[in-house]
Structure 1
Amino acid sequence: MKYEEMKAEANVSTVMQFVLLGFSELPNLQWLLFGLFSIIYIMILIGNSLTIITRLDSALQKPVYFFFLANFSSLEICYVSVTLPRILVNLCPQDRSISMLECSIQMCFFLMLATIENFLLAVMAYGCYVAVCNPLHYPLVLNHRMCIQMAVDSWICGIPVQTGPICQIFSLHFCHSNQIDHFFCDVPPILELACGDTSLHKLSVYVVVLLVGTIPSVLILASYRKIISTALRLPTSRGLAKVFSTCSSHLLVVLLFFGSATITYLRPQSSHSPGIDKLLYLFYTIVTPVFNPMIYSLRNKDVLTALRKLLLK
């Protein structure tokens, strides 16, 4: 299906919907991609749902599992559901149009959930720090009430941080084109379509990205500095192995999430190209949520035991 590029010259407000080009440059692979992304989506839903259900096991009624299993897996399901269903819709009937309202809602939820994930990873790092550095105080510091409070704060903090920049972006006029060379509504491709000088808006977006990335990163690094310092003082290799088993899952998730986000958003402008950008965004938004349930399960004996019990039932 051929889409005409809309121009707005006399009236810059005529662009009221966008066209997500997605993978239109691969017309012969549309159904293959549809099948592949459908399988990935089902895997993410099943993997994270099983991770949430395992928390019902009596052996997993601990704060660390509350953070790792219930909250983070719920977040991953929401996070992927913002982008993947839209990709499937674009691939199947070839209707790639999206209204400005739908585009703004998608962008809003995507950025809010990404921000929540940043802060939730920082909260998890604090949980690992308490477990390793203050194990005797662990039940008192991370009691049930504190866990709920920290989880709720992580979810709430993402809402106001991203609302302002999104309102700013969609208050702009779009006159260059209505075609977004991307598979979902994200900030950089949308700003490329705006009229006039958008350098101030781009600067404000980078400031927000740096803030929501830097603050959790500093908290995570501070927690792991204390954890490593404590681990190095342990007299036996057994204690070191216990520290590694406690924190390794979280550390792998942090490296995967922040590493892919840094490469995706903070690369030099000269190295950007539509094809590479789409691959990096796919890894950041879709591939990492596939790995996360595997990391939780395969690196944790308690979770594996709970999963076996669940599957046997």
Structure 2
Amino acid sequence: MSRSIHADTVLGVLKLKISNLERSIQFYREVVGFQVLSQDATTARLTVDGHKTYLILEEVPNAAVVPRRSATGLYHFAILVPTREQLGLSLRTLIKSGIHIGQGDHMVSEALYISDPDNNGIEIYCDRPRSEWKKDAEGNYIMGSDPVDIEGLLKLAGDKPWSGLAAETILGHIHLHVSELSKSKAFYCDILGFDLVADASKMMGALFISAGGYHHHIGMNIWAGVGAPQPPANGTGLAYYTIVLPSPVELNVTLEKLRNADIPVAEQGDHWELKDPSGIEIRLMASAA
């Protein structure tokens, strides 16, 4: 196994393929709380701070909406808000919108689950303090799925004004449908160097991996079936997600691991493109900071 990926590795820009740009912009603005940074006829860049792109939406011609759990790709992307009050404000807004809301207290975090108009899964969550996260005897983070304290969150929100997602909001993690867990683990852990932090492969067909001891930056499951196909070229869903290394030096370390494993990577401007064993596109880049 290669050395662990740098502890300061994070996730960056995410791009989704959607079927109707105007409908999706309305949803992501009014229900989720993004702002539009820029827009043209087929694409919109969304932001939380008014400066950096967080999420890209691209309308696909003759788009085919991919049914849930039918192909590799996105299970959900997870919007990490900075405080429980912010989670409460999001909850209040989601309730007013009338959409279906799932929820789970995962012990390390409290989470709300929704889907956009094209079945793209979204988690909005807030972490508990890292000092409260617990591990079992095998070193796995202990994560459950208990009911969320809905009343407590709504009480925190009260009648405070909500103007969208806070500027400190980040992409906390991404959860993927993969075709095979063992190949995905070998790629993400043995080559890229993410650490396995929760092995739920036998219990629920899922693995959770991270950098720097986080409870997970990437989740992987086989809930679309072992050997699940890739979505069609015009299918809605994940176009790509970005892994951001903290420096050009660390980016080069990761690129060298990929080359040594004979995994094709292509330089495209400020980033490098590759695909994981399930055909999911990843972009690698160094932090601009």
Query: Quick check: TM above 0.5?
Result: no
- TM-score normalized with structure 2 length: 0.22
Larger relative contact order (Cα-Cα within 8 Å, sequence gap ≥ 6): 1
Task: Return the structure number with greater strand share.
Answer: 2
Task: Return the structure number with greater helix share.
Answer: 1
Choose 1 or 2 for highest CA Rg.
Answer: 1
- TM-score normalized with structure 1 length: 0.21
